[in-house]
Structure 1
Amino acid sequence: MTIASSDQSTAQGLVAAVTALRTAAENADGDAVADILAPDVVFHSPLSSRIRFEGADDVAALHRDVFAVLEGISTTEPLTRDDTAVFSFGGHVRGQKLDAMNMVRVNERGEIVESTIYARPLPALATLFAALPPRVTARRRGRAKGALVAALATPLGFAMRTADRFVPNFI
């Protein structure tokens, strides 16, 4: 295989993987995400740089959790270059509008090997922080630890939504 044909097959695999990921997100289908992940995939969270999710099983389970708390996901057409694509998506978490961007990298087989999410605005991201980690923790470590995480994370979401209502009036 020549370098040109290798690059072309990677580009085709990238488009196919991103199309499948966007479709899975819009249909809230975590099982479909599992089919396009490399075994050694790494997911970088927008919520904390201290945690990353590794492996197809863990990342697919995370997507099922995300799709359970993020409603009405819509995506845009991706921008692609080499083995990387970027697309934006939006949805609602507990009534808060979340806008985000996903940067995806694929391997030569067209499997997603890396995904990094960037999200805004801060009140919606804080609300996602209050909704998602308790669910993930309960799945991974049990309901009691999930409840503890909820108790720690929920005030942040409340504080950011409240500040967002009042602070702009003073700027």
Structure 2
Amino acid sequence: MSHTAFRTAVERHDLKLIRASLAHDVVVHSPVTARPFQGRDVVTELVWAARAGVLGFEYTDEILADGMAGLIFRGRIKGRPAEGMDLVRFNRSGLVADLTVMIRPLFAASAFNEVMAPVVAELMGQAS
């Protein structure tokens, strides 16, 4: 696997491919909460929901380094333009081990928070 597998999975919004690109113990750092989420099942749900919340989603650029990729995206969240980056770190098997999502501008991040709040609340409730 590689950044290409994750990128393709997200672009296609393919639940099975998203899950297959993630390490069992993957960690995601969301712009919605300070607390990271861990585990393939939880992160699959978060990535799926996040991708659904960004209309017209497209990756526009890549920044590649050894064991990591910055995937730059744009789209619209609640009708407002948004840009962001998925900072993806891979394990030795090429699976996503760590994912940090960043979104700008502030109104887009706020709109993303509104879109993701129900999903995050449900997942946080499952973790307690």
TM-score, normalised relative to structure 1: 0.67
For residues 139-170 of structure 1, the C-alpha deviation after alignment (integer angstroms, 9 at most, x for no partner) is: 6649xxxxxxxxxxxxxxxxxxxxxxxxxxxx
Work out the CA distance in 2 between the residues paired with 1:111 and 1:124: 29
The Cα of 1:25 is off from its aligned counterpart by 1.9
Preserved CA contact (<8 Å) 2:58 2:73: yes
Q: Hey, which bits of structure 1, 4+ residues long, moved more than 4 A? A: none
The Cα of 1:60 is off from its aligned counterpart by 0.4
For CA contacts below 8 A with separation 6 or more, give which structure has more relative contact order.
2
Q: What is aligned with 1:91?
A: 75
For residues 58-85 of structure 1, the C-alpha deviation after alignment (integer angstroms, 9 at most, x for no partner) is: 1001112112322111003422211111
Q: Provide structure 1 residue ranges, at least 5 long, that are not aligned to the other structure.
A: 1-15, 143-171
Structure having the higher Rg: 1
* Structure 2 residue 97 is matched with structure 1 residue 113: yes
For residues 112-160 of structure 1, the C-alpha deviation after alignment (integer angstroms, 9 at most, x for no partner) is: 1001111100001101111111133246649xxxxxxxxxxxxxxxxxx
* Structure 2 residue 56 is matched with structure 1 residue 72: yes
* Structure 2 residue 113 is matched with structure 1 residue 129: yes
Q: What is aligned with 2:22?
A: 37
Aligned-partner residue type, residue 92 of structure 1: R
Aligned-partner residue type, residue 21 of structure 2: I
Q: Provide structure 2 residue ranges, at least 5 long, that are not aligned to the other structure.
A: none
Mark the CA change 1:139 to 1:41 in structure 2 (over 3 Å): closer, same or farther: closer
Give the CA RMSD over aligned residues.
1.8
* Structure 2 residue 3 is matched with structure 1 residue 18: yes
The Cα of 1:31 is off from its aligned counterpart by 2.5
Mark the CA change 1:17 to 1:101 in structure 2 (over 3 Å): closer, same or farther: same
Q: What is aligned with 1:63?
A: 47
Equivalences, count: 126
Preserved CA contact (<8 Å) 2:59 2:73: yes
Preserved CA contact (<8 Å) 1:26 1:72: no
Identity %: 32
